[in-house]
Amino acid sequence: MKLPIYLDYQATTPCDPRVVEAMLPYFTEHYGNAASRNHKYGWAAEEAVERSREQIAALLGANPKEIVLTSGSTESINLALKGAAEMYSDKGKHIITCQAEHKAVLDVCKHLEQQGFEVTYLQPDKSGRVSLEQVAAALRPDTILVALMWANNEVGTLNPIREIGALCHEKGVLLFTDATQAAGKIPVDVEADHVDMLCLSGHKIYGPKGVGVLYVRRKSPRVRLVAQMDGGGHERGMRSGTLNVPGIVGLGKACELARVELESEAKRCAELRDHLEKRIFSELDFVHLNGNREHRLPNNLNVSFAFVEGESLLMGISDVAVSSGSACTSASLEPSHVLRAMDVGEDLAHSSIRFGVGRFTTREEVDFAADQVIAAVKRLRELSPLYEMAQEGIDLKTVKWQAASH
């Protein structure tokens, strides 16, 4: 067993060795520029890119021509939101999104607000989910775009994208979905799900970092975007820049593997996750699941360990690599905006840990992690004045706290 055990698959994933193998010839042998139309090197590169486009499209139920290659989800989000806002601003200037979105979406929305757009930030329910009714109620005649993530990166909650997509199509509003966590983990079909734009990142699905996709629908409706980077007019004019051929080959291979193995892997991950969850919940008291038991990713588990601060817990489980929603793990001193939006309580937000299992996680690793976490929580609770008060029967909500003099 290699330590520390990696249980942070929502942050990034290792490259699958099969992906690396597929990429290698494109560094040293087939190193042509995919835009070179007049020699064999260029043709080989272009051919490889087009094959990848097919592999990516197959994972999404899309047409290869609808695949715009980018550097990753953040770039895709910028292109989708800014590009659509600019293109359709004559039609309206209202955008709908959610408070629990990734910062990449929220920050782009903030930017668009400065440009004169109006953004509605829906508040998710306590499980992190936005409802069809909320979206319906927020739609206005001047709404041009709905931007909602498929699966939340912190708590794994799935939004009802298919229902929201159908509504958007009925109302003539574009739907963009950030599928960075969902693609390759749950079935995605841009046709059946009525999605107009969708992004994913290679490194979240066992592909390389620095390469991603923006799916842009070509028919009913045909989505047009204003390019955000000027240059040679690559990618149907939407994204200029020489294509990252080895990265794209790797992404294509990663998508193919994700598609072929989706069902078996989702089942295996869910079993590992459920095992971890069962051990934590049966061996500790005062633990809370953050997220939605019914509608969530198969490989995500987000738990708050009451009366234990997240960063101190991470220190106590140094042989396990996970993330915390605690403020102390970030430079901002703000706890997770997702857990805040879900209204789980600031104290529990400080106590949250995200566990992500993946393709290379074993049951032995999960048990090792569970042992470490359970022991560390017990030890830190012995140190915790809050646990002591809770055991004395004091309701912490009724205590008048004295914050520090800073």
Give the C-alpha separation, 142 to 134, whole Å.
Answer: 17
Beta-bridge mates of residue 145: 95, 174
Give the C-alpha separation, 296 to 319, whole Å.
Answer: 26
Q: Which is nearer to other proteins, 1 or 404 (CB)?
A: 404
Which of residues 70, 201, 312, 336 is near other proteins by CB under 8 A?
312
Query: Which residue is catalytic, options 15, 199, 269, 328?
Result: 328
Q: How many CA atoms lie less than 13 Å away from 268 in the CB half-sphere? A: 12
328 is catalytic: yes
Site of tokens 């198969």:
298
Which of residues 331, 393, 395, 398 is near other proteins by CB under 8 A?
331
Which of residues 72, 335, 356, 358 is near other proteins by CB under 8 A?
335
Q: Which is nearer to other proteins, 291 or 325 (CB)?
A: 325
Which of residues 269, 327, 341, 373 is near other proteins by CB under 8 A?
327
Minimum CB distance to other proteins, residue 336 (Å) = 11
Interface map 267-306 toward other proteins (x if CB under 8 A): ----------------------------------------
Site for other proteins in 348-367 (CB under 8 A): 350
Which of residues 3, 137, 315, 394 is near other proteins by CB under 8 A?
315
| CA proximity to 190, closest of 180, 211, 175 | 175
Contacts of 372 (CB under 8 A, 6+ apart): 316, 317, 319, 320
| Amino acid at position 140, single letter | R
Q: Which is nearer to other proteins, 251 or 339 (CB)?
A: 339
| CA proximity to 213, closest of 114, 97, 70 | 70
Q: Which is nearer to other proteins, 131 or 329 (CB)?
A: 329
Contacts of 297 (CB under 8 A, 6+ apart): 151, 156, 158, 181, 182, 185, 186
Site for other proteins in 366-405 (CB under 8 A): 382-388, 396, 401-405
Q: If binding is defined by CB under 8 A, does position 3 make contact with other proteins?
A: no
Instruction: Kindly list the catalytic residues.
Output: 328
